[in-house]
Structure 1
Amino acid sequence: MILRRNVFIPVLLFLLVGGLLYSCDNTSMQTASVIPDSVSYNFDVRPILSDKCFSCHGPDANKREAGLRLDIEDSAFKALQDNPSAHAWVPGKPDESDAFLRITTQDTSLLMPPLYSNLSLTSQEIAIIKKWIKQGARYEDHWAFVAPRKQAPPAIKKSAWPINEIDFFTLAAMEAKGFSPNEPADKERLLKRLCLDLTGLPPSVELMDAFLADTRPDAYERMVDQLLALPAYGEKMALHWLDLARYADSHGYQDDGYRTQWPWRDWVIHAFNENKPYNEFVTWQLAGDLLPDASMEQLLATAFNRNHKITEEGGVIPEEYRVMYVSDRTDLLGKGILGVTMECARCHDHKYDPFSQKEYFQLYSFFNNIREEGIESVIGGPETYAKKPMMQITNADVTNMLQFINKTDTGKMIVSVMGELDTIRPTFVLHRGEYDAPGEKVEPATPVSILPFDNSYPKNRLGLAKWLFDPKHPLTSRVYVNLLWQEFFGRGLVKTSGDFGMQGDLPSHPALLDWLAVDFREHNWDIKRLVKLMVTSATYRQSAIVSKEKLAKDPENIYLSRGPRYRIHAEFIRDLVLSSSGLLNPEIGGPSVKPYQPAGLWEGATSGRGLLSIYTQDHGAALYRRGMYTLIKRTVPPPALSIFDASNRDICEVKRLRTNTPLQALVMLNDPTVLEAARVLATKLQQEAGAPEAKIKQAFRRIVCRNPDAKETEVLVNYYQQERTTMDKSTAQKMIRVGESPLPQQADILEIASLMRVITAIYNLEETITKS
């Protein structure tokens, strides 16, 4: 569809959003650095050494220079290999510390890092290292590899502000930086924020009315409980797990044939709605097939491990691809559940974290005993929709054991799952990670720096799951707590949510992260309880309004002195549009659907073989399913979702990008779904009694989720009147032909088209698709 001519829309949008402050997602802190009184190795020194020194003097033995390793204490303090009378660090004596002399020398032939590395230390970094040496050059274990401890909430000055324990930690950090928390958000904006976070949908007008009328002291907490109990909660929570688990509806690679993993997606939604404890949720997915007397549901959960890309190209080397599949599962465990860049140790010892290549393949070996092949079958009929090992699900299974699966037809349904070989497949360290270069044979084990593997556990995936949830494990609870915090606040307490290692960001609130991690474990890994704790905190309830001072000092809102404000995920933009218009089909689960899409995209990027070679759009109710059910073909992901930074599900993704591009404005102005929603809502309003002003106010409220103020109402009404006066019938007829939903025969075409223009403008407001 061609972008319509109308200069009034940009002016309208400018007037309506005037005065609102812009998002700061991609800006960085500008506050001046100060050398702390007590320099910490973990929080002050190690980040400098990791950035500037560890690539040559870190864990990777193959790249280590001069035999010097600076990431561990014993090596850093021993006599230097090429000068036994010297030492890299001499506690208390920077002028006798050879490493310090090398980073401060004026002799470029001796300077470290060397000039050719294009790395250098700032005067601030040098001053921190010097002070650290003077204070004894004390090393500390990496914070993320030390089991979390639950500290008592800190003392604060503004004692009336906290609602729960979270607030003590955040307020203490605010007060240390000279910030005060914002006032609570007004009820309308707070309800929209909460509904989007817990259901991915905007509140209905009826829900808004009920919440505004509820004056009980616990009205907000009651609303939280009500939303947590809705089926849509499971859908919302499932989306980030689908990204993490790289769920898609195609196999990937060139032919990119159709696959039927969607019953696993139904299970994930069901698991969140049933509030399955996180330890059980993960254990079933990693090793449900190995549980005693494993049920069909437990076996289905293991499809988590089989969501990776699978080739159907006839000319490949099978073992090469089988090794890729095993590596994919290993890397998913590292990034998605352990929060470390384990994949960096596949070809050599990790350059920054204490993971050897041998440890990588010891972890890899847990996933190396599956009854799978690198190439099983080429693209074709239903027999290729899943790859062995797989399970078949019948209608009787759905009726008797798997009632949560939305299976409406009688066709064959198969899902790729896990299944062990009858004998142990040996695992070898692969030289440079190459499938055909086996070296030392290894047994299943875990990185010692994280937590040694308990030999009382079975050396299989079930034992691996037990290791993950060992009370002494330093990462599992921290990583998931951080992922959920990221979901509700837009930024994790550890910003690099997939990397808690040496190169990752330090936690902004380390004591809070540890308190939440231990509390989560102590309360039996209860996800709904953790969610409720976060969204009922005073920290979460703050207004998102930002002062110039806070914007200058803390543009990323690291210190949480205001509420979260950022654009919602791509799928939820679609959901908001459909829900506010009344078009949304609330059906849960089932096969993925194919909504409107520009013609020719698939056909221009396909081999011409298989079910997904041609895009055949769905019709009827399937057109109005939630965004999470849109079919994802990996080689040509849904354009309207991709433009708003949705994952194409090639690999594990724990944090989406958040970009701002002109294409996003074009989607909101021209996408058939948006225009059809505007037309359907305009038709409903046109058929109701009342003046145009009342109808426009109702549209604004349904879409933006609050009442418009007088100025906003005036601008919108004027826009409607202008369109109503100047629009001709021919233009109106063209406008309302968008979409497949029927138009009533007796309808005022000019009024519908005029209202449609106004509603389209409201959909295009920044506030509409922003959580604030």
Structure 2
Amino acid sequence: MKLKKDSYLLTGILFPLFAGVLVYACGEAEISEKIPEQVSYNFHIRPILSDNCFACHGPDANKREAGLRLDNEEGAYAALKENPENHAVVPGSLRKSMVFSRISSEEPDQMMPPPESNLKLSERDKQLIRKWIQQGAEYETHWAFVPPQKHTPPENNHPGWSSHPIDKFVFDNMSSMGLQPNPEAERAYQLKRLSLDLTGLPPSTDEVKSFVGGERTWEEMVDYYLEKPAYGEKMALLWLDISRYADSFGYQNDNIRTQWPYRDWVIHAFNQNLSYDTFLTWQFAGDLLPEPTKEQLLATAFNRNHKITEEEGVIDEEYRVEYVLDKTNTFSKVTLGITMECAQCHDHKYDPVSQQDYFSLYAFFNNTPEKGFEGGAGSPVRAKTPLIWVEEEDTQGILSFVNHPDTAKVAVSIMKDLQDSIRPTHVLNRGVYDAPTGDPLTAATPAVIKPFDSDLPPNRLGLIQWALAEDHPLTSRVFVNLIWQEIFGQGLVPSAGDFGMQGKLPTHPELLDWLAVDFRENGWDIKRLIKVLVTSATYRQSAVIQPEHLEKDPDNVYLARYPRLRLHAELIRDYMLSSSGLLVPEIGGPSVKPYQPEGLWEASSSGRGELNVYRQDKGDKLYRRGIYTFIKLTLPPPSLLIFDGSNRDICQVSRNRTNTPLQALALLNDPMVLEASRVMAENLITTHSSPEEAIEEAFIRVLCRFPKDEERTALLNFFQEESEHYKEDPQEAKNLLAVGESPQKEAAAPERTAALMQVIVALYNLEETLTKT
């Protein structure tokens, strides 16, 4: 075997042959099929360096080792500080590139990453770096910092696959993996997923029958659901996680606050299809618009939804700074998809964002008159200044969308800037509130993303105009990615909150850019964006998993099938209330307190005033949608947390989906599940002449499709077994039917009602029921 000369020469001098070089010489053919013909810095090299090298050789100058910076070409190509004759990377030359020498070495004092870091490059990683250097070691601007371009969708000739732009991009990627798309799902499955995605509710029996029977087209159903008031509630759920909406102030001395008119506005904005640029502008800077309306002022409550202390004895400035930090971090996550909070205490270790960049952005939010502490928990005003009052007369006019249940006025915390002065902003040493350093900063944006235009006003209005500029690389990408995540379970950028160096690479970069530009070109129209997604063949595919899917694409990255997705926590509640007939479809209004295990609030000792004791609501308030469930920041609703609901204490752009035994126990025993099953059983027993008809109706309501013959037989047998059981123990039937506070119907044969109730409980506990398939 003959070794290549440049595999073991370094700066013109032979160095000892070590195992790493032998691997490259001997093993190259073995893994060459895994190495792309053209190695890309963005998609192949940067992820390796970011995971293994940037902590010590990245943007953070304070933590940089040996003066070596590898995240840009200036640093990588420069002469080494400790050895000016050498360079970390020399394009085209492995012999002269110290990086290749160090990652190939097996000597503990030479190898990189060093052994004590517990990091290690794979052989494929080393081969990629090797080939990249040989091909010229070209650096590229991080993909997310380059304005998106509207690529022409690739052609495809797959029979039966649509010419929809999304499908062209998706098919091009899946076919490169040797995959073919699934056939279209059965119409009932399609309708269920569409209804849940657009309204958060299951389709009604009539909707199922008319669509499955071919009486209504797909586009008709899309338009029908987009126009339902429930659409705004479904979309608002995502935005309330982002805007960290809750019904209490948070921190230990927790008490109620009345931000709920803001929630009503969010629902209204989605139902009115307010364009996304307007939607953002009003929330971040509605108060800075010329002669702002009360609706525009209400929208700025977005900025004030963070936790606010009511604890006596705190340091005012410490908490005021915390509030500004929260606003800054929320802005960066919502519009930029960048983990800017990492630069609060030091230069970002992975992204080219300095601490000065961070506090220059912070300056946009640092000019408000709000206080860190404004009175204790005994205050009768449920909002903090600056605030507005929503009065009954407002709800007869411009705020008609606010569901104001009584004549009392409601206080809402909003945004406002100081009128006669500008609060100076400094870099805070290590991010500490009382350690300002250096000269005052000018409000500015990270230049690596897009410099702030001097023609824009240096305030929040100018900031959001900067974010919405045509050549801004991130704002439209971040939002279309969030909507894709809502529909398909995972964004085209899987790390929806991190488009930076440590974030996941886009799975379909050209499709992401096409959607981002198309969204902006069409007036930031949210309903249109959703319609584009759900009218694609990709969306209408079957969710059936083929053996080749598991072999070639177990995580469904290439979308050769529709992803099976469990519903969000609030939608599980909504599903049962709606299908059972219990749901009260009232839009908006104050939050409600449904069933909750006794003693939880009291045990937490974090509530004051109205939140000291949990006072469960009565009547219709028990049957409102999950979006209206009261959220106490110090103890969020357990029924929602069990199913991975957001605790709302910070901006959250995605939720986890876990499977735990507690979830199964909740579905079997939660009073709301049992009550919904009881109410449906009572209604079906009295409206159907036979158990077979009642069971079929229950099946359609719960599973949103017609039962198969074997399913009918199994459920009827179960019903008969349960009927015999309750005949022998009528008291048990009586106890079962007593669950829940909704009035009971007189049952001629309680054992049959109880048996049907158990059948419905079983249906609600099926995996298919609470999964989009």
**Under a length normalisation based on structure 1, what TM-score does the superposition of the two structures give?**
0.95
The 5 Å alignment of 1:615-694 reads 615-694=614-693
Distance 1:32 1:162 in 2: 36
The 5 Å alignment of 1:9-24 reads none
Q: Is the 8 A contact 2:254 2:607 kept in 1?
A: no
Which one-letter code corresponds to 1:564 in the other structure?
P
Identity over aligned pairs, percent: 59
Aligned residue in 2 for 1:553: 552
Distance 1:635 1:741 in 2: 30
Distance 1:595 1:511 in 2: 46
Which one-letter code corresponds to 2:71 in the other structure?
D
Cα offset, 1:220, TM superposition: 0.2
User: Matched residue of 1:768: which SS?
Assistant: coil
User: Matched residue of 2:732: which SS?
Assistant: helix
Which one-letter code corresponds to 2:415 in the other structure?
M
Which one-letter code corresponds to 1:640 in the other structure?
S
Which one-letter code corresponds to 2:766 in the other structure?
L
Distance 1:765 1:605, change over 3 A: same
Which one-letter code corresponds to 1:129 in the other structure?
I
Which one-letter code corresponds to 2:169 in the other structure?
F
Q: Is the 8 A contact 1:78 1:87 kept in 2?
A: yes
Aligned residue in 2 for 1:500: 499
Distance 1:659 1:471 in 2: 39
Aligned residue in 1 for 2:389: 392
Aligned residue in 1 for 2:328: 330
Distance 1:424 1:650 in 2: 29
Which one-letter code corresponds to 1:596 in the other structure?
Y
Distance 1:99 1:389 in 2: 55
Give per-residue Cα distances to partners, 1:536-578, cap 9 Å, x unaligned. Answer: 0001000000112202221221101111211010100000000
Which one-letter code corresponds to 1:753 in the other structure?
A
User: Matched residue of 1:415: which SS?
Assistant: strand
1:759 equivalent to 2:760? Answer: yes
Aligned residue in 2 for 1:47: 47
Aligned residue in 2 for 1:372: 370
Give per-residue Cα distances to partners, 1:590-610, cap 9 Å, x unaligned. Answer: 000000000000011124521
Which one-letter code corresponds to 2:271 in the other structure?
N
Distance 1:163 1:757 in 2: 47
Partner residue of 1:284 out of 282, 285, 289: 282
Which one-letter code corresponds to 2:45 in the other structure?
V
The higher relative CO (CA closer than 8 Å, separation ≥ 6) is in 1
Give per-residue Cα distances to partners, 1:360-397, cap 9 Å, x unaligned. Answer: 000000000111000001102431x1000000011001
Q: Is the 8 A contact 1:720 1:754 kept in 2?
A: yes
The 5 Å alignment of 1:83-122 reads 83-122=83-122
Q: Is the 8 A contact 1:669 1:764 kept in 2?
A: yes
User: Matched residue of 2:85: which SS?
Assistant: strand
User: Matched residue of 1:505: which SS?
Assistant: coil
Distance 1:371 1:246 in 2: 21
Distance 1:32 1:604, change over 3 A: farther
Give per-residue Cα distances to partners, 1:417-444, cap 9 Å, x unaligned. Answer: 0011121000010000000100122110
Cα offset, 1:356, TM superposition: 0.3
Give per-residue Cα distances to partners, 1:497-535, cap 9 Å, x unaligned. Answer: 000000000000000000000000100101000000000
Point out where structure 2 has 5 or more consecutive residues left out of the alignment: 1-30
Which is worse superposed, 739-748 or 671-680?
739-748
Cα offset, 1:649, TM superposition: 0.1
Distance 2:176 2:618 in 1: 57
Distance 1:761 1:516 in 2: 41
Aligned residue in 2 for 1:427: 425
The 5 Å alignment of 1:476-495 reads 476-495=475-494
User: Matched residue of 2:437: which SS?
Assistant: strand
Distance 2:490 2:650 in 1: 21
Q: Is the 8 A contact 2:606 2:634 kept in 1?
A: no
Distance 2:392 2:33 in 1: 63
Distance 1:757 1:381 in 2: 48
Distance 2:68 2:547 in 1: 48
Which one-letter code corresponds to 2:644 in the other structure?
D
Aligned residue in 2 for 1:248: 246
Q: Is the 8 A contact 2:255 2:607 kept in 1?
A: no
Cα offset, 1:159, TM superposition: 6.0
The 5 Å alignment of 1:106-255 reads 106-158=106-158, 160-214=160-214, 219-255=217-253
Q: Is the 8 A contact 2:577 2:623 kept in 1?
A: yes
Cα offset, 1:747, TM superposition: 3.6
Distance 1:268 1:607, change over 3 A: closer
Distance 1:337 1:259 in 2: 27
Q: Is the 8 A contact 2:355 2:427 kept in 1?
A: yes
Aligned residue in 1 for 2:16: none
Aligned residue in 2 for 1:414: 411
Count of aligned pairs: 739
User: Matched residue of 1:766: which SS?
Assistant: coil
Cα offset, 1:480, TM superposition: 0.1
Distance 1:768 1:552 in 2: 27
Distance 1:229 1:37 in 2: 49
Distance 2:82 2:766 in 1: 66
User: Matched residue of 1:498: which SS?
Assistant: coil
Aligned residue in 2 for 1:298: 296
Aligned residue in 2 for 1:341: 339
Cα offset, 1:181, TM superposition: 0.4
Distance 2:510 2:163 in 1: 18
Cα offset, 1:746, TM superposition: 4.7
Aligned residue in 2 for 1:17: none
Q: Is the 8 A contact 1:255 1:610 kept in 2?
A: no
Aligned residue in 1 for 2:400: 403
Cα offset, 1:693, TM superposition: 1.4
Give per-residue Cα distances to partners, 1:129-172, cap 9 Å, x unaligned. Answer: 00000000000000000000011001223165124211100000
Which one-letter code corresponds to 2:491 in the other structure?
G
Aligned residue in 2 for 1:5: none
Which one-letter code corresponds to 1:456 in the other structure?
D
Distance 1:319 1:586 in 2: 44
Give per-residue Cα distances to partners, 1:87-117, cap 9 Å, x unaligned. Answer: 1011111122001101111211111111111
User: Matched residue of 1:304: which SS?
Assistant: helix
Which one-letter code corresponds to 2:651 in the other structure?
C
User: Matched residue of 2:389: which SS?
Assistant: strand
Distance 1:756 1:407 in 2: 37
Aligned residue in 2 for 1:736: 737
Distance 1:527 1:608, change over 3 A: closer
Give per-residue Cα distances to partners, 1:225-263, cap 9 Å, x unaligned. Answer: 011011100000110000011000011110211010000
Aligned residue in 2 for 1:10: none
Q: Is the 8 A contact 1:606 1:613 kept in 2?
A: yes
Which is worse superposed, 620-629 or 108-117?
108-117
1:61 equivalent to 2:58? Answer: no
Distance 1:478 1:556 in 2: 23
Point out where structure 1 has 5 or more consecutive residues left out of the alignment: 1-30
Partner residue of 1:356 out of 335, 344, 354: 354
Which one-letter code corresponds to 1:739 in the other structure?
G
Aligned residue in 2 for 1:16: none
Aligned residue in 1 for 2:592: 593
Distance 2:546 2:602 in 1: 50
Q: Is the 8 A contact 2:149 2:517 kept in 1?
A: yes
Q: Is the 8 A contact 2:252 2:607 kept in 1?
A: no
Aligned residue in 2 for 1:28: none
Distance 1:341 1:146 in 2: 18
CA RMSD of aligned residues (A): 1.2
Point out 4+ residue stretches in structure 1 off by more than 6 angstroms. none
The 5 Å alignment of 1:567-582 reads 567-582=566-581
Distance 1:33 1:334 in 2: 40
Give per-residue Cα distances to partners, 1:157-200, cap 9 Å, x unaligned. Answer: 31651242111000000111110000001110000000000000
Aligned residue in 2 for 1:11: none
Give per-residue Cα distances to partners, 1:3-25, cap 9 Å, x unaligned. Answer: xxxxxxxxxxxxxxxxxxxxxxx
User: Matched residue of 1:94: which SS?
Assistant: coil
Aligned residue in 2 for 1:8: none
User: Matched residue of 2:249: which SS?
Assistant: coil
Aligned residue in 1 for 2:772: 771
Aligned residue in 2 for 1:706: 705
